[in-house]
A = this chain, B = another copy of it.
Amino acid sequence: MRQHSTLSTMTEFELIHRFFSGLDFGPSTRLGIGDDAAILDIPPAHSLVVSVDSANEHTHFSELTLPEVVAYRSIASAISDLAAMGATPIGMTLALSLSEQDPLWLRSFSEGVTKAVYAFGCPLVGGDTTKGPLSISVTVMGTVPQGFGLKRSGATVGDLICVSSSLGDAAAGLQLELGTLFAEEHPSCSDYLLDRWSYPQPRLALGSDLLNSATACIDISDGFLADLGHLLQQSGVGAQINEAAIPISAELISVVGRAQALQLALSGGEDYELCFTLPSSVAVPEGCSVVGQIVATMGIRGLTNTPVRTGFQHF
């Protein structure tokens, strides 16, 4: 990793060192931050799983988003890709672009990093801090037993389509965060929805449990229908959806009503839950819902209305 040697950048490094020096590296880390690269051990008979996710100000969060939440969400969204592969995290790198030094911003940001490191058991093993518009890019690494790993392909006719937990909460949370939705009459619901957006909980344990049973898996970041569409496309199959079985939280219905809640659940995005397919003989994991079944005919059937895209546009 690039080292910075001028007086002003020493201050930057001192700050980062101060905020991140307390973090544990974990048993896989043979050499952590502080050299040209980190060295990690991979358990015998395991493969490396790797994914990258970025978040940019004005696109993925606003200037009003707490730096702690910016950090936590950036890491959680990347970790969610590991969960969708059934992988166990071993480490991550973080590229942070900052337009100016702001110790308070950095402190809050580092608290989000720390929270995520411990929540997901994923040490920060490398970083690069550069000058530029605010942007965070996280590469996560994990492991799966050799020959394993949940893919988007593999869903077969008759499989059950399942999702973990309720959908749409995070999309509503984002609208609350951006101030485009108000929920004064429902303060506790509002807190719940904001929390679901701010602190997504990647389903690592579930992904790991599914390694031996699921035929296909994807994480829901762009909305249930869009991500199910990717899974169907790569598996070469279609889906019959039972709209009434889509899990929606009471909090979401309280704040936006049932019709809008369904729209958000179908296509709001930002959920970081898993969508997976199971042979019908397999027991559905606790907390998960069966929302449909795989059919031979391509496409998605069973929806009463064509859903409106409500997630953000990238370009």
Measured in the bound complex, the distance between the Cα atoms of B60 and A42 in whole Å is 34
Contacts of A85 in B (CB 8 A): 35-37, 39
On whether the beta carbons of B56 and A131 are closer than 8 Å, the reply is yes
Instruction: List 12 additional contacts besides A36-B84, A93-B139; criterion CB under 8 Å.
Output: A12-B315, A37-B81, A39-B48, A40-B47, A40-B48, A40-B50, A51-B93, A56-B132, A59-B131, A100-B315, A128-B137, A141-B141
On whether the beta carbons of A52 and B131 are closer than 8 Å, the reply is no
Contacts of A39 in B (CB 8 A): 47-49, 85, 144, 149
Q: Name which residue of chain B comes closest to A45, CB basis.
A: B44
CB of A151 within 8 A of chain B?
Answer: yes
On whether the beta carbons of B95 and A146 are closer than 8 Å, the reply is no
Q: Give chain A interface residues in 274-315, CB to chain B under 8 Å.
A: 309, 313-315
Measured in the bound complex, the distance between the Cα atoms of B97 and A60 in whole Å is 12
Main secondary structure of the interface of A (DSSP, over half): mixed
On whether the beta carbons of B146 and A41 are closer than 8 Å, the reply is yes
On whether the beta carbons of B130 and A314 are closer than 8 Å, the reply is yes
On whether the beta carbons of B84 and A37 are closer than 8 Å, the reply is yes
On whether the beta carbons of B34 and A4 are closer than 8 Å, the reply is no
Measured in the bound complex, the distance between the Cα atoms of B197 and A302 in whole Å is 58
Contacts of A219 in B (CB 8 A): 36
Measured in the bound complex, the distance between the Cα atoms of B59 and A314 in whole Å is 24
CB of A31 within 8 A of chain B?
Answer: yes
The 20 sampled A-B contact pairs (Cβ below 8 Å) are A1-B81, A5-B309, A8-B314, A30-B149, A31-B149, A31-B151, A34-B152, A35-B151, A35-B153, A36-B81, A37-B50, A41-B47, A41-B146, A48-B48, A50-B125, A52-B94, A52-B137, A53-B95, A93-B139, A97-B135
CB of A57 within 8 A of chain B?
Answer: yes
Q: Give chain A interface residues in 123-173, CB to chain B under 8 Å.
A: 125-133, 135, 137, 139-142, 144, 146, 149-153
- Enumerate the 9 nearest inter-chain pairs by beta-carbon distance, A residue then B residue, closest first: A56-B132, A37-B51, A5-B226, A139-B139, A95-B137, A52-B93, A36-B84, A137-B137, A133-B133
Looking at the complex, which one of B60, B94, B130 makes contact with A130 (CB distance below 8 Å)? B60
Measured in the bound complex, the distance between the Cα atoms of B35 and A91 in whole Å is 20
Measured in the bound complex, the distance between the Cα atoms of B6 and A314 in whole Å is 8
Return the CB mask of A196-227 against B: 1 if under 8 Å, else 0.
00000000000000000000011101110011
Interface size class of A (residues with CB under 8 A): 35 or more
Residues of A bordering B, CB below 8 Å: 1-6, 8-9, 11-12, 30-31, 34-42, 44, 47-60, 77, 81-82, 84-85, 87, 91, 93-95, 97, 100-101, 125-133, 135, 137, 139-142, 144, 146, 149-153, 217-219, 221-223, 226-227, 229-230, 234, 309, 313-315
